[in-house]
Amino acid sequence: MLHIVNKSPFTAGALQSCLRIAKAGSTILMIEDGIYGALDGTAVSGQIREALGDITVCALSHDLEARGVNGKVLDGITLVDYDGFVELVTANDGVQSWL
Amino acid sequence: MLHIVNKSPFTAGALQSCLRIAKAGSTILMIEDGIYGALDGTAVSGQIREALGDITVCALSHDLEARGVNGKVLDGITLVDYDGFVELVTANDGVQSWL
Amino acid sequence: MKLGIMVNEGPYTHQASDSAYHFTKAALAKGHEIYRVFFYHDGVQNGTDFTTPPQDDRNVVKRWSELAGEHGLDLVLCVAAAQRRGLVDEDEQKRHGKTGHNVAPGFRISGLGQLIEAGIQADRLVVFGD
Amino acid sequence: MKLGIMVNEGPYTHQASDSAYHFTKAALAKGHEIYRVFFYHDGVQNGTDFTTPPQDDRNVVKRWSELAGEHGLDLVLCVAAAQRRGLVDEDEQKRHGKTGHNVAPGFRISGLGQLIEAGIQADRLVVFGD
Amino acid sequence: MSEAGATKKFLYINRKAPYGTIYAWESLEVVLIGAAFEQDVSLLFMDDGVYQLVKEMQTKGIGMKNFTATYAALGDYEVNKIYIDKDALTERGLTLDDLQHLVWEDENEDWAEKDSIHLVGRDEIADLLDEQDVIFNF
Amino acid sequence: MSEAGATKKFLYINRKAPYGTIYAWESLEVVLIGAAFEQDVSLLFMDDGVYQLVKEMQTKGIGMKNFTATYAALGDYEVNKIYIDKDALTERGLTLDDLQHLVWEDENEDWAEKDSIHLVGRDEIADLLDEQDVIFNF
């Protein structure tokens, strides 16, 4: 299953709700303001690092670049472009957007 | 100073940001989905109860009634209607909306 | 007291415009002056008279128009926000060759300076948004 | 693969419509079929041809119209959401006596059943919103 | 359920409070329309979405329509699998008694009245999402 | 500042990230227009608002206009009191080096270049809000 998170983890509960429900083997894709959850050295980095053991975490490169933070991504997070986004949608059985 | 909070404390950071900045002697008015911060028995009730020592906390009665939770308001919180909202705005020197 | 109101979200989706309306009405009833209501961001959608909401629901746009008519309110839609979001008065209709115009009675399109002016002239500015 | 897209926010205010557009374009380029793009909530504002955004910014509405023209996309605005928010086609213009109509080329107004149908017919439904 | 053709498992996820935004109401409109399509429908209320089912709402003061009576009609539309995140209730100091009591009548058991609401935890929610064909997010 | 008539203290509070929503950009448009009115202007970046000032944004991939070069021009408009919540930076793993270096030229000191940005903590933010006549929230 593909989980999409598009909110900053510092102002919305979406990432926390997602992490609580996402099963081992599932994939989280961070897009839009959600990409702030993919960065190193933040108050949520430890939690993401831990999740990376069971879950594939991806972040949309275009959204990282737009926000000037593409150099700060946590090790272990996969960067994807819009093509990769499409591939994630087709490769996973279901899609859940944590709006 | 009057602080207005219109977001649920369970899904947005607005109430936390407000509580961090609101000075002793100031007033917080909870409106719209912000009124969920005014309820007893929740994960944030303790924090509000503590704030009540220094800060006046009000909640808009119409918004509480609309959401069916007017019977659950924490002791010490003042209920106001739209008239009371206007009075709070005119009685305080400044207004800050934590959007 | 002289109050300025800023509305940052459109009708129906967020409660911001409802809250601003009830606040404005209560302030007028208490004898306060509303210097201006400034609609910004998606708030400009409060000024579209193309809406036809269900009969059993409130008509957010019409309610603002009527309040403006009764009290001579100055309801201003930000021109830059309006252009991005499809609010067009008769002048803009002609200039851009649109099929019609959709600014409701009582609203006018003007610049952001009107918001700054409201901040300067009013004793309080109250912001409603998301 | 057959994909359904749901867009829940209007143009400019939220990035949802931008993301949906870039996703849709990428999916088409990879040879996937877009069964339908359904615009709900404030998403119906993506279909207003009354917008005149600044020259140096993207034109969100026109971009959707053009993509629809190139690929025969089915862009559907929810009728109930459209009525609340002021999207009017030629039929609605006549029925409600509006000064014009503001549904952009390539978009059509229809019911929520079109969203359910997209859920049934498409292999995946991807929701973009706030 | 549909007599002919494959049905799909549809899940509507509601995570937002009522009235502050319109999503709760416009989500319910989708569920009502969708009921005519005879798919295998479930509703999940998570996070602030659990507030949608609180009883005795009085919306006169805010001038909005109270749409929540419609939830009680869902059983008649054969929408009878309603899941509620129990941790979300706890965090908000709510219990099932604070919510509407939603029921449906089982035609296979002489129209016996049954509860539509099921309290679920994180693992059950994760399983619920996993088994869906289509998820609508509000 | 204005030669004649009273000036008011205007504070623009920015609490949202750029691009995910338009508030950052439309807030900046207000600041630019407002600069012509010669009030006593301050800007405060709190919460996700601190992300607005991150350097080297490349918006080509998302097809949006990069408006953030405009922040560097604020000094020329005599908008030179820019406050940044230092706790918000810390929580996000950012330092001042990650942000644009905003400056202004002080005509009273032979156009000496001075920093516009001031890091502030909660007490200073509380004081800053207290002393304002008008607060704009974005």
Condensed to tens digits (0 to 9), the pLDDT of residues D1-51 reads: 999 999 999 999 999 999 999 999 999 999 999 999 999 999 999 999 999
Query: Which value, in Å, is the radius of gyration of the alpha carbons in chain B?
Result: 12
Touch between F and B (at least 3 CB pairs under 8 Å): yes
Question: Residue F5's pLDDT is what?
Answer: 56
Residue F119 CA to residue B78 CA, distance in Å, equals 35
Region A46-69 average pLDDT: 97
Interface partners of F (3+ CB pairs, < 8 Å)?
A, B, C, D
Interface of A with F in 28-67 (CB under 8 A): 32-33, 36, 39-43, 45, 61-63, 65-67
Number of independent structural domains in chain A: 1
Q: Are C63 and C105 in contact (CB under 8 A)?
A: no
Condensed to tens digits (0 to 9), the pLDDT of residues F59-86 reads: 999 999 999 999 999 999 999 999 999 9
Region C84-100 average pLDDT: 95
Residue C101 CA to residue E126 CA, distance in Å, equals 49
Question: Residue E6's pLDDT is what?
Answer: 74
Q: Are D123 and C107 in contact (CB under 8 A)?
A: no
F129 Cα distance to chain centroid: 14
Question: Residue D18's pLDDT is what?
Answer: 98
Q: Are F68 and F52 in contact (CB under 8 A)?
A: yes
**pLDDT for C50 beyond 50:** yes
Question: Residue F2's pLDDT is what?
Answer: 40
Identified catalytic residue from D78, D82, D115, D122:
D78
Q: Which domains does chain F have, with CATH numbers?
A: 9-137 (3.40.1260.10)
Condensed to tens digits (0 to 9), the pLDDT of residues E69-99 reads: 999 999 999 999 999 999 999 999 999 999 9
- Which of C51, C80, C100 comes nearest D85 by C-beta? C51
Interface test with D, best of A58, A65, A82 (most D CBs within 10 A): A82
What's the domain range around A54? 2-98
Token representation of residue D12: 């400019």
**pLDDT for F4 beyond 60:** no
E29: nearest Cα among E83, E76, E85, E67:
E67
Q: What single string gives the DSSP state of each residue in D72-102?
A: T--EEEEHHHHHHHT---HHHHHHHT-S---
Where residue B63 sits, what CATH number does that domain have? 3.40.1260.10
As a whole number of Å, the end-to-end CA separation of chain B is 16
Token representation of residue D85: 């928010």
Condensed to tens digits (0 to 9), the pLDDT of residues E13-54 reads: 999 999 999 999 999 999 999 999 999 999 999 999 999 999
Residue C40 CA to residue C7 CA, distance in Å, equals 6
What count of other Cβ atoms lies within 10 Å of the Cβ of residue D110? 17
Give Cα separations from A39 to A7, A30, A75, B35, F136 (angstroms): 14, 11, 9, 33, 30
**pLDDT for F1 beyond 60:** no
Token representation of residue C56: 């059993």
Report the percentage of chain E scoring pLDDT > 90: 96
Residues forming beta bridges with residue F16, ordered by sequence position: none
Condensed to tens digits (0 to 9), the pLDDT of residues D46-67 reads: 999 999 999 999 999 999 999 9
Torsion of CA C20, C21, C26, C31, to 10 degrees: 90
Using a CB-CB distance cutoff of 8 angstroms, which residues of chain F are in contact with residue A45?
93
Indicate the pLDDT class of residue B37, thresholds 50, 70 and 90.
Answer: very high
Question: Residue E2's pLDDT is what?
Answer: 41
Query: Which value, in Å, is the radius of gyration of the alpha carbons in chain A?
Result: 12
**pLDDT for E4 beyond 60:** no
F122 Cα distance to chain centroid: 17
For the full predicted model, state whether its pTM sits above 0.90: yes
A37: nearest Cα among A62, A66, A12:
A12
**pLDDT for E116 beyond 80:** yes
**pLDDT for E1 beyond 90:** no
Q: Which domains does chain D have, with CATH numbers?
A: 2-128 (3.40.1260.10)
Region C66-78 average pLDDT: 98
Region D70-94 average pLDDT: 97
ipTM: 0.96
Q: What single string gives the DSSP state of each residue in C57-105?
A: S--HHHHHHHHHHHHT--EEEEHHHHHHHT---HHHHHHHT-S---BPT
The answer to whether F122 contacts chain B (CB < 8 Å) is: yes
* Average predicted confidence (pLDDT) for chain F: 95
Contact between chains at E138 and A95 (C-beta distance less than 8 A): no
Condensed to tens digits (0 to 9), the pLDDT of residues B52-71 reads: 999 999 999 999 999 999 99
